[in-house]
């Protein structure tokens, strides 16, 4: 029997993409994985074992030369993405559905399958950090809870069961589940405590006319929340907001870039080998990146 594989980004948009794909493929089950730009090639290869490599769906993650090549081992590979990337050549069995103007990757998936669902609008709100509805806030908190408090295989299993539940029972059922509501409450409590920490730990720099806020941490902290909270800072708005997550165990730095003022932070991410969107980008670097290196990179952009 052939088993389809779904690989999506391990965030809200990716979760919603995976639920939409599940709803719209002919098979009634699939292997679902959540990945990141940094691990995607590994994920595509691992997911293949035991599936006869029939069909793979990849969403909210960018097709680049290496990941396109990995996906082409499957009989057919369907990509759905809305990140800004250089166009890549792909073999005939790799179908790229891309729209860098789409507010979410879920929007790209929904258009492809001609599937209308309120959850697509919610993906747009969350991915653009423009929350308008209570349900969007709740779903963002639920995924925030999983990102903050679960790791590795537990995170994967929880996300998987959320995707299946979203696909089969819908958003209202997911958001009225007792365990999910408990997770949301725990996460919202954490945010209250965390908002005090941001004020204390944020470092502000002026560099060539740009105002930069840098937040360094060793754990998971929600970048959207830091960005929103900093709007109330006495020196806001910030041209560049940088969240640097240090994973000292494996000498890795995860950099996230945002802006209050429409600065092109994609160019900044590219200086570190990363990517994303013009107003929200990131990079994972396999060394410890110092604040000084980040400021130097911003300086080089400001000088242009
Ligand atoms: Mn997205």
Distance CA 188, CA 173 (A): 20
Distance between Cα 13 and ligand 1 center (Å): 5
- Going by CATH, does the domain composed of 202-302 fall within 3.10.310.30? yes
Q: What end-to-end distance do the CA atoms of the chain give, in Å?
A: 56
Distance CA 157, CA 118 (A): 24
Distance between Cα 287 and ligand 1 center (Å): 26
Give tens-digit pLDDT for 76-118. Answer: 999 999 998 887 899 999 999 999 999 999 999 999 999 988 9
Torsion of CA 256, 259, 263, 269, to 10 degrees: 0
List % helix, strand, coil for the chain (3-state, nearest 5).
Answer: 45, 20, 35
Distance between Cα 252 and ligand 1 center (Å): 23
Give tens-digit pLDDT for 216-235. Answer: 999 999 999 999 999 999 99
The mean predicted confidence, pLDDT, of the chain is: 96
pTM across the whole model? 0.94
The domain limits of the chain are 5-181, 202-302
Cβ–Cβ < 8 Å for 46, 71: no
Distance between Cα 73 and ligand 1 center (Å): 25
Distance between Cα 127 and ligand 1 center (Å): 6
Q: What is the model's pLDDT at position 79?
A: 98
Distance between Cα 74 and ligand 1 center (Å): 24
């Amino acid at each position: 029997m052939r088993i389809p594989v779904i690989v999506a980004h391990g965030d809200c948009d990716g979760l919603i993409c995976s639920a939409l794909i599940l709803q719209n493929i002919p098979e009634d089950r699939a292997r679902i994985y959540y990945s990141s730009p940094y691990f995607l090639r590994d994920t595509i290869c691992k997911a293949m074992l035991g599936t006869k490599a029939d069909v793979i769906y990849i969403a909210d993650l960018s097709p680049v030369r290496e990941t396109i090549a990995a996906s082409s081992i499957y009989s057919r590979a369907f990509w759905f993405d809305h990140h800004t990337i250089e166009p890549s050549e792909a073999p005939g069995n790799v179908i790229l559905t891309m729209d860098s103007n789409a507010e979410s990757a879920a929007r790209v998936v929904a258009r492809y399958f001609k599937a209308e669902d309120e959850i697509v609008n919610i993906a747009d709100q969350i991915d653009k950090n423009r929350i308008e509805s209570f349900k969007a806030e709740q779903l963002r908190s639920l995924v925030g809870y999983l990102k903050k408090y679960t790791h590795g295989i537990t995170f994967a299993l929880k996300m998987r069961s959320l995707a299946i539940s979203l696909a089969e029972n819908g958003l209202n059922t997911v958001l009225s589940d007792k365990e999910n509501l408990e997770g949301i409450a725990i996460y919202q409590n954490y945010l209250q405590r965390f908002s005090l920490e941001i004020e204390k730990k944020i470092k502000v720099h002026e560099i060539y006319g740009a105002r930069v806020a840098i937040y360094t941490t060793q754990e998971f902290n929600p970048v959207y929340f830091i960005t929103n909270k900093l709007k109330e800072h006495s020196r806001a708005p910030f041209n560049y907001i940088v969240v640097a997550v240090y994973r000292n165990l494996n000498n890795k730095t995860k950099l996230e870039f945002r802006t209050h003022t429409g600065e092109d932070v994609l160019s900044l991410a590219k200086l570190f080998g990363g990517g994303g969107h013009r107003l929200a980008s990131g990079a994972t670097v396999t060394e410890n990146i110092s604040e000084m290196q980040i400021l130097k990179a911003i300086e080089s952009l400001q000088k242009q």
